[in-house]
Amino acid sequence: MDLKGADPAVTDAYRNFVKGALASELQGTDLRTMATTAAEWVVKKDGGISVRFRVGTVFASLFLLMIVARFIRALAKRGIKRVPNLSNLLQDFLLKVVYWLVFAVGLMIVLALFGVNITPLFAVLGGASFILAFAMQETLGNLAAGLMIMVNKPFDVGDLVDTNGILGEVEAVSIVSTTVRTLDNQVVILPNSGVWGSIIRNVTVSPQRRVDMVFGIGYGDDIETASRVLHEIVEAHPKILKEPKPNIKVHELADSSVNFICRPWTNTEDYWDVYWDLTRQVKEGFDAAGVSIPFPQRDVHLFKENS
pLDDT (tens digit, 9 = 90+) per residue, 177-230? 889 999 889 999 888 888 888 888 888 888 899 999 999 999 999 999 999 999
DSSP lists the bridge partners of residue 170 as 180
pLDDT (tens digit, 9 = 90+) per residue, 18-50? 665 555 554 555 566 667 666 666 666 666 677
Instruction: Give mean pLDDT, residues 231-253.
Output: 93
pLDDT at position 52 over 60:
yes
Q: Measured between alpha carbons, how far is residue 116 from residues 48, 106, 110, 113, 119 in Å?
A: 20, 14, 9, 7, 9
Q: Please report the pLDDT score of residue 240 as a whole number.
A: 93
Could you tell me the pTM of the whole model?
Answer: 0.50
DSSP letters of the chain?
-TTTT--HHHHHHHHHHHHHHHHHHHHHT-HHHHHHHHHHHHH-TTTHHHHHHHHHHHHHHHHHHHHHHHHHHHHHHHHHHTSTT--HHHHHHHHHHHHHHHHHHHHHHHHHHTT---HHHHHHHHHHHHHHHHHTHHHHHHHHHHHHHHHH-S--TT-EEEETTEEEEEEEE-SSEEEEEETTS-EEEEEHHHHHTS-EEESSSSSEEE--EEEEE-TTS-HHHHHHHHHHHHHH-TTB-SSSPPEEEEEEE-SS-EEEEEE-EEEGGGHHHHHHHHHHHHHHHHHHHT---PPP-------PPP-
Phi and psi (nearest 5°) for 21? -65, -45
User: Where is pLDDT greater, at 291 or 93?
Assistant: 291
Instruction: Give mean pLDDT, residues 50-57.
Output: 72
DSSP lists the bridge partners of residue 258 as 217, 253
Q: Please report the pLDDT score of residue 206 as a whole number.
A: 84
The one-letter amino acid code at 102 reads V
Q: Please report the pLDDT score of residue 275 as a whole number.
A: 95
Q: Please report the pLDDT score of residue 32 as a whole number.
A: 66
Could you tell me what percent of the chain has a pLDDT over 70?
A: 72
User: Where is pLDDT greater, at 111 or 73?
Assistant: 73
Residue 76 near residue 93, CB atoms below 8 Å: no
